[in-house]
């Protein structure tokens, strides 16, 4: 007894078998059935795909197409003439009708060259992307060399490390001017000259005694390297002796020493009097000095003592 073929189960007689008409008939029946089934499948496939033609862009594929309708999309994207050539068939996937790409997976060199040539249209002569194909938005912009140069020329933010450049300030008006060091020095000199003409009046109204009293409220600071005039005045409305002293001395022992005393005046007769004394004081040292005002009068009555300082130089 012979064997069977691998795929279609035909009978193969053995070398010693006689020809058997039944086996021939059986084999032909298998062949006939197999060929019929194959032809049915081919016819089914041919009937299932209905080529409808071509559209320019994918967005133009009809939404009312039937299952099996096939189209060719000529161009890529939604505008332009960049070749595409993808084949789509209307089918179902997971129960949803949709367009299914069934294009071939390989291309000839000529086809690849044609596709690349079309993409080259997106580039300019220097093989750089044409700006017309860039989608700009609020965070993506093209900047020119002129704009970058303008930005780079801006001054840094003004702070302790970055000062405002003088050439960036409009000083053409009368209210906006830069002053040089010499001009500032002259302003300071003018201020001092004005102050020297303005008397500095210190406090008055004190209760005195029959002994000399230094009045802390009337102490005057004489600036270094300064010439000034100091005047002291006293008014007393009782019949008692009065007196005034201007001195560098701040104690009873040194107030009238030759090196300290600048001025002294007394009214030994008493009475309602106005007493005044003054001195031009030259402090040519490099240090400030304190000038003390001393006064004496009876405790009764009303006492007024006033000191005036005027800078001369």
Q: What is the CATH number of the domain that holds 227?
A: 2.60.120.20
Q: Which of 49, 101, 55 is nearest to 74 (CA)?
A: 55
**pLDDT given for residue 198 in this prediction:** 46
- Does the global pTM surpass 0.75? no
Output 217 or 102, whichever has higher pLDDT.
217
Question: Looking at the domain assignment, is residue 179 inside a domain?
Answer: no
208 lies in the same domain as 302: yes
226 lies in the same domain as 256: yes
Q: What percent of the chain has pLDDT over 70?
A: 67
Q: Structure tokens of 20? A: 């058997």
Q: Which of 83, 80, 82, 79 is nearest to 103 (CA)?
A: 83
Highest mean pLDDT among 34-48, 70-84, 145-159: 70-84
In this model, does residue 214 exceed pLDDT 60? yes
206 lies in the same domain as 287: yes
Question: Looking at the domain assignment, is residue 251 inside a domain?
Answer: yes
39 lies in the same domain as 58: no
Question: Looking at the domain assignment, is residue 131 inside a domain?
Answer: no
Question: Looking at the domain assignment, is residue 157 inside a domain?
Answer: no
35 lies in the same domain as 111: no
36 lies in the same domain as 67: no
Dump pLDDT digits (tens) for 144-166. 888 888 888 877 767 666 666 66
In this model, does residue 288 exceed pLDDT 70? yes
305 lies in the same domain as 224: yes
At 185, the pLDDT band (50, 70, 90 cuts) reads: confident
Among residues 118, 145, 166, the one where a domain terminates is 118
3-state secondary structure 136-205: CECCECCCCHHHHHHHHCCCCCCCCCCCCCHHHCCCCCCCCCCCCHHHHHHHHHHHHHHHHCCCEECCCC
40 lies in the same domain as 62: no
Output 166 or 270, whichever has higher pLDDT.
166
Highest mean pLDDT among 126-135, 164-173, 175-184, 274-283: 274-283
204 lies in the same domain as 305: yes
What is the rounded distance in angstroms from the CA atom of residue 292 to the CA atom of residue 250? 6
Segment among 83-92, 249-258, 294-303 with least mean pLDDT: 294-303
Question: Looking at the domain assignment, is residue 142 inside a domain?
Answer: no
* Residues 217, 202 contacting (CB under 8 angstroms): yes
Give the domain extent around 267: 200-311
Element (H, E) at 190: helix 181-196
**pLDDT given for residue 183 in this prediction:** 83
204 lies in the same domain as 300: yes
* Residues 273, 267 contacting (CB under 8 angstroms): yes
**What is the arithmetic mean of pLDDT over 23-45?**
68
How many structural domains are present in the chain? Answer: 3
Task: Report phi then psi at 178, rounded to 5.
Answer: -90, 140
Question: Looking at the domain assignment, is residue 151 inside a domain?
Answer: no
Q: Which of 196, 269, 278, 198 is nearest to 234 (CA)?
A: 278
66 lies in the same domain as 103: yes
What is the rounded distance in angstroms from the CA atom of residue 103 to the CA atom of residue 74? 12
216 lies in the same domain as 229: yes
């Amino acid at each position: 007894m012979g064997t069977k073929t691998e795929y279609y189960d035909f009978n193969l007689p053995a070398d010693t078998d006689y020809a058997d008409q039944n086996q021939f008939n059986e084999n032909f029946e298998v062949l006939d059935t197999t060929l019929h089934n194959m032809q049915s499948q081919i016819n089914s496939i041919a009937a299932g795909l209905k080529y409808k033609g071509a559209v320019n862009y994918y967005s133009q594929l009809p939404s009312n197409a039937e299952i099996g309708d096939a189209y060719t999309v000529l161009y890529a994207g939604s505008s332009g003439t960049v070749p595409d050539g993808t084949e789509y068939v209307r089918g179902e996937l997971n129960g949803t009708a949709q367009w299914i790409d069934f294009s071939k997976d390989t291309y000839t060199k000529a086809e690849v060259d044609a596709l690349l040539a079309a993409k080259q249209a997106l580039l300019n002569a220097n093989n750089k992307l044409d700006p017309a194909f860039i989608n700009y938005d609020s965070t993506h912009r093209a900047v020119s060399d002129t704009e970058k140069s303008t930005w780079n020329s801006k001054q840094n933010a003004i702070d302790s490390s970055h000062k405002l450049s003088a050439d960036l300030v409009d000083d053409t008006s009368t209210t906006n001017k830069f002053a040089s060091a010499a001009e500032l020095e002259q302003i300071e000199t003018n201020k001092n000259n004005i102050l020297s003409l303005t008397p500095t009046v210190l406090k008055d109204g004190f209760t005195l005694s029959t002994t000399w009293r230094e009045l802390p409220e009337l102490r005057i600071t004489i600036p270094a390297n300064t010439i000034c005039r100091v005047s002291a005045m006293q008014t007393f409305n009782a019949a008692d002796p009065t007196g005034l002293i201007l001195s560098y001395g701040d104690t009873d022992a040194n107030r009238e020493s030759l090196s300290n005393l600048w001025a002294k005046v007394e009214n030994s007769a008493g009475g309602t009097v106005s007493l005044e004394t003054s001195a031009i004081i030259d402090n040519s040292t490099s240090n400030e000095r304190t000038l003390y005002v001393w006064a004496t009068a009876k405790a009764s009555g009303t006492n007024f003592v006033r000191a005036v300082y005027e800078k001369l130089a």
